[in-house]
Every structure is written in structure tokens, then in C-alpha cells.
Amino acid sequence: MRIATLAGLWLTIAMVQGPLAIAEVSEVAPAVLSAEQQRIAAIAKATRSAVAVFANGGNGGGSGVVITPDGYALTNYHVAQPAGSYMKCSMADGQLYDAVIVGIDPVGDVALIKLLGRDDFPTAVMADSDKVAVGDWCFAVGNPFLLATDFQPTVTYGIVSGVHRYQPPAGTLLEYADCIQTDAAINPGNSGGPLYNADGDLIGINGRGSFEKRGRVNVGVGYAISINQIKKFLGCLRAGRIVDHATLGATVSASDDGRVMVSNILETCDAYRRGLRYDDEIVRFDGRPIRTVNAFKNALGIYPKGWRVPLTYRREGQEHEISVRLMGVHAESELLALLKSAKPEPGPERPDGNPPPDGDKPERTPRPMPMPGGARPRPEAVKVPPEIQKMIEPRESFANYYFNKLEQDRVWKAATASGDFAAATGNWKFTGTMTVGGQAAAAPVEVALGESVSKGTFPTGPAAVDEKQDLDAQLDPPESGGLLAALHLWRQLLVAGPAKFGEVHYYGEAPYAGVAGLADVLVATRNVAEMNLAFDPANGRLAVLELTIDTDVDPCELRMSDYREVDGRQVPHQIEVRRGDGIVGTISWSQIEFLPAGEAKP
């Protein structure tokens, strides 16, 4: 019986082979040949930038992809984590490169590493992954089962099976929000590798798959972190940081009629201060309509801690649009403790017999597993060559502080290119007018910024700041949240520079009002104050300064513009002072003087 079936099948083949035998090659439709050539070209282009990651000391490995000519490459956190700070990477050119860790995003399962030794690495082109549609052809390039011992990557072809998928985290780490699902084979070792569209452009980073009964091999259900999410984190990763994801400070749940409602909210979060309350309906987040809890998790899960995102809520039929600064999923110490203790293993399944909660993910959906290749991590001492050791600088809260210094230097160099204030050590005297509520105040605004004491006269009266005292009691003028203190610290930073000012680090990139694209952000801490300084990458200038004294209240925000030259330095002549949702006032300086050191202010 079995033989008969087999014979039947071969017969079928013979019949099909008949016409082939007489078919000339020239009869192949040109469109077929052209499609074939397109695919060959896309794969050839894409494989050049693919990376096979091998952890030193035999701690497994995975895949990656180079995105800049100087060697910055993306991989998974769960691939880089066991490898430590230093790893070896091979590429399709047959070369083995040293690589160091740059930054990690443990919640998003992304790590940025840097391959060393070239400034002309082949790079992947990052596509717009929001344009990816179910049914599009795609392919994964990588190092499944760590097969790339000959340095040649493996290519697996498939289609996009789903978009905007939400795959829950293990605890609070390894959450795949808004990810891409594919049936291209994703196997252990493919983790961290690129998922390309049919043109060979990068749409995601493969990281996990759904498995269950068939063992830890591909079953046609792999997930890739969307490249659009990673674009938002790239600046923070380049900062050498341990980057946290964002949360609203509120939880949501679906109502009986399927609307997404605020079910709990922290009174200390920015969303609360902006007006969001318990039982408000979330209508849109980041411009995306929110109809399910998963849709909300997808929209939120692609943001780094600290970004501002527009949110629309509905209360009593009325829609309100607010801009919310997102807080971290973890407290900083909490995230560090998690990374020290927890292995990034998926949590246990929690099977129960209840029907799935409306609008939410059924809890008992099998947890997709991350896909590192090879052995589980076994920490082993690895000898790092001295010239590479110089590029590894451990520091609390950072994956590699070496890269933070690089970025600090870059931003500061650009910021001071049009004005070096290091020599302006005397008093800085400003005279101008302040517009409050559209009306120019009658009395002029005068400010004198000094080395340790600054004074000013505002429409609300005189104000003073003495840095020898705690700044939290010196937040004049009233309602500004510390306008004079902010100006004072601004002068100190410009004069001292980041190295001498106090604790300064590069945050990464974030959107800020008045900056096209993303701003470079420095965080500077002194006294009890923390400043966020957003620089416009187009001209290097400081665009926004935010002074935070207490994270539970709104910061004082200074938007600086109208840069003009004073004594050979570019200085902002207009400052919009904002607090929360409102404008405190707009200051226009008519006169700015940098007095020589030692000269008393008038």
C-alpha cells in the first residue's frame, strides 16, 4: 500500500518533468527571472551587514546586525548579557572582529554593541517598520544553532504573519510590544539577528518565538522587535546606559463595553498632574487609537523612560489632549537589582481555567521563549586585550560609561562651538522685559548671575539664590518652580563645563519642543537640583533647560531661542518660562553683559 502511494507520487513527478525537459531556459517569464534577481540582490545586500555573535569563554552566542559604518551593531539583551562586556563577532566577509558592549535595554531585549577595527563596515538600512504589512515577504539572517563557525550567515525566508503583536514580559523584563511576527524560521542562535523586508532593508531584530510541544525549535512563529521601537532607544543605547522602558504611572483595564479605562493612577506621576484621573477613558496615545488593553500596551511599550507623548482621554463625553512625560517601569535601583539577580528567563506559565479577561491577553497564553544559541551563561573570566579594555568602563547604572563620555564630549563640543563661556567667570548681567499672559510687565526684568549668589528683579518682586543653601527653598520667582535657580545653574555649567560642574551624563535622545527630530539630552545634577538640557543637534545650541527639584512636582522649563552674539558668544535672547501646562512668562533680553571677574555687580 505504502509502496503504491510512493510510486504514484513519483509518477506525478515524471509527468511534470515531461514539459520541463522540452522547456527552453528562454521560455521562463522575464518577470520570474527579474523576481529571482531581486531576491538574490536583496539577500546579497542584507547578508553583508549581518553579524554572528560568539560570547567569549564559550557562553553561547547569537546574531546581530551592523547599523553604522563605525561598527555600532544591534543584538538582543539576552544574547549580550551572558557574553559580558567583550565578545567576538564574525561577518560574511570572513573576518572575526572584537566587539564591546555599549548600551542595554533589558525590558525591550535590545543591546547595542560596537565592532572594532574598521570605520567602513557594511551597514543595514533601517526601514519604516510601521509600513510592514501581514503577507509581505521577509527574511531572517543569522547564526541559528551557532552554525556560522565558517562565518557565513544563514538565510531563512518567510512572510510577515502578524504586526503590532504584544508578547508579555517575563516579570518586568523582555517585553515584546508592537512586535512583528514571522513564519521565517527563527531558531536558537537567530536571537539578535536582523529581519529584513523583501528589499533587504532592516525591519526588526529577531528575538523570540512561540514553542511548546515541538521542542525548542522553530514552529513557524517567531517575533522580531520592530526597528521603529529601536530607533527611539538608539540615542539612549549609544549613551552606554542601562535604559528603562516607560510607563504612564497608571494602569488600564477594559470596561464591560470594551473601552480602555484608567483603573489606577499614581498621584505623583506626570499624567496625574496633567489631569488624568481614575475612570477616564484612554482614546489615543501617541496618535494611535486605543481600543484594547493590548493596543495600549503596544503603544506604550515602545517608549524609553522620560519621553513626552501626547495622550487623549475622554471624561463625561469631553475629550482632553495632554502631553505626558512617561516615568520608568522600574525605579533605577530596582532595575539594577533585577539585572544583578535575575536571569532573563521567561516566567512560569500560569494556567487557570477562567475565560480570558475582556480586552486583555489570556494569561495562560504559552509564553514565547527568548532564543539565545548554545549554553546558558556560565560566568568565566575572559582576558580582555588592553587596547580594548580602555573602551570598557564599568559604572553603576551604565552598561559601559566609556561611551557616555564619548557622547558627552560630542554634545558639549557642539554646544560650545558657537560660544565658549569658560572665561566668563564674572557676573552675567541681563536686562529685559517679561510678558505674562500676553501683557508686557511695566517694570523691567533684571538678573545678575554670580559665582555662588544670583539676584534678580521680576514682575513679582526681587528674588535671590544662594548656592551654599539647599535650592529647594529658593525657588523664586513664585510659581516659576525655580526660574532664577535654573538660570544660576545654567551659568555655572557653562562656565565650569560638564567635567567640573558636578555629576553630568548624557541621557540620549528625546523629543523636545522647538527641536526638529530628536534633541541630545544631558542630565546635570548639583546641590539638590537636576537639570535636563536638551540641545538641538542641527546647531548644537541649548534649546530647553528643565530644572527638577522634586520629581513629584512639575519642573521649571526654560525654552531658549533668539540666539544672538554677545562678545563673540551666541546667547539666547528669548526665554519662554513654562511650568506644567502653563506659560509663566516670556522674557526678552534687551541687554546682556559678561562682566570681568571680580567686578561687583551694580
Active site (catalytic) residues: 78, 109, 191
Is 120 or 352 the residue whose CB approaches other proteins more closely? 352
Binding of other proteins by 162 (CB under 8 A): yes
Is 310 or 356 the residue whose CB approaches other proteins more closely? 356
d(CA 14, CA 8): 10
Instruction: Provide, rounded to whole angstroms, the least separation between the CB of residue 368 and other proteins.
Output: 8
Tell which positions 456-475 bind other proteins, by CB under 8 A.
Answer: none
d(CA 412, CA 501): 13
- Given candidates 78, 114, 165, 232, which one binds other proteins under the rule CB under 8 A? 165
Residue 464 C-alpha cell reads as 535671590
Is 58 or 258 the residue whose CB approaches other proteins more closely? 258
Binding of other proteins by 20 (CB under 8 A): yes
Gap between the terminal Cα atoms of the chain = 108
Instruction: Provide, rounded to whole angstroms, the least separation between the CB of residue 230 and other proteins.
Output: 21
x-or-dash string of contact with other proteins, 520-559, rule CB under 8 A: ----------------------------------------
**Considering only CA atoms, which of 502, 498, 585 is closest in space to residue 542?**
498
Is 219 or 441 the residue whose CB approaches other proteins more closely? 219
- Given candidates 125, 147, 155, 219, which one binds other proteins under the rule CB under 8 A? 219
Tell which positions 336-365 bind other proteins, by CB under 8 A.
Answer: 349, 351-356, 358-362, 364-365
CB atoms within 10 A of CB 77: 27
**What Å distances lie between residue 563 and 418, 521, 540, CA to CA?**
10, 19, 12
Q: In this structure, are residues 265 and 273 in contact, taking their beta carbons and an 8 Å threshold?
A: no
Binding of other proteins by 155 (CB under 8 A): no
Is 136 or 446 the residue whose CB approaches other proteins more closely? 136
**Considering only CA atoms, which of 328, 307, 368 is closest in space to residue 532?**
307
Instruction: Provide, rounded to whole angstroms, the least separation between the CB of residue 12 and other proteins.
Output: 7
**Considering only CA atoms, which of 336, 328, 337, 396 is closest in space to residue 551?**
328
Tell which positions 295-314 bind other proteins, by CB under 8 A.
Answer: 295
- Given candidates 39, 231, 308, 410, which one binds other proteins under the rule CB under 8 A? 39
Tell which positions 481-510 bind other proteins, by CB under 8 A.
Answer: none
Q: Kindly compute the dihedral angle of the four CA atoms of residues 478, 479, 482, 484, in this order, to the nearest 10 degrees.
A: -50
- Given candidates 105, 183, 244, 509, which one binds other proteins under the rule CB under 8 A? 183
- Given candidates 2, 340, 383, 468, which one binds other proteins under the rule CB under 8 A? 2
Binding of other proteins by 291 (CB under 8 A): yes
Binding of other proteins by 383 (CB under 8 A): no
d(CA 484, CA 471): 10
Instruction: Provide, rounded to whole angstroms, the least separation between the CB of residue 218 and other proteins.
Output: 7
Binding of other proteins by 23 (CB under 8 A): yes
Q: Which residues contact 11 (CB under 8 A, 6 or more apart)?
A: none
Binding of other proteins by 259 (CB under 8 A): no
d(CA 141, CA 50): 7
Half-sphere exposure of 251 (CA within 13 A, CB side): 4
Q: Which DSSP string corresponds to 315-372?
A: ETTEEEEEEEEPEESS-HHHHHHHHHH---PPPPP----SPPPTTS--TTSPPPEE--
Binding of other proteins by 208 (CB under 8 A): no
Binding of other proteins by 45 (CB under 8 A): no
Residues comprising the chain, all counted: 602
Alpha helices in 49-117 (DSSP H): 77-83
Chain contacts with other proteins (rule: CB under 8 A): 1-2, 5-6, 9-10, 12-13, 16-17, 19-20, 23, 28-29, 31-32, 35-36, 38-39, 133-137, 158-159, 161-162, 164-165, 181, 183, 198, 210, 212-214, 218-221, 258, 291-292, 294-295, 349, 351-356, 358-362, 364-366, 368
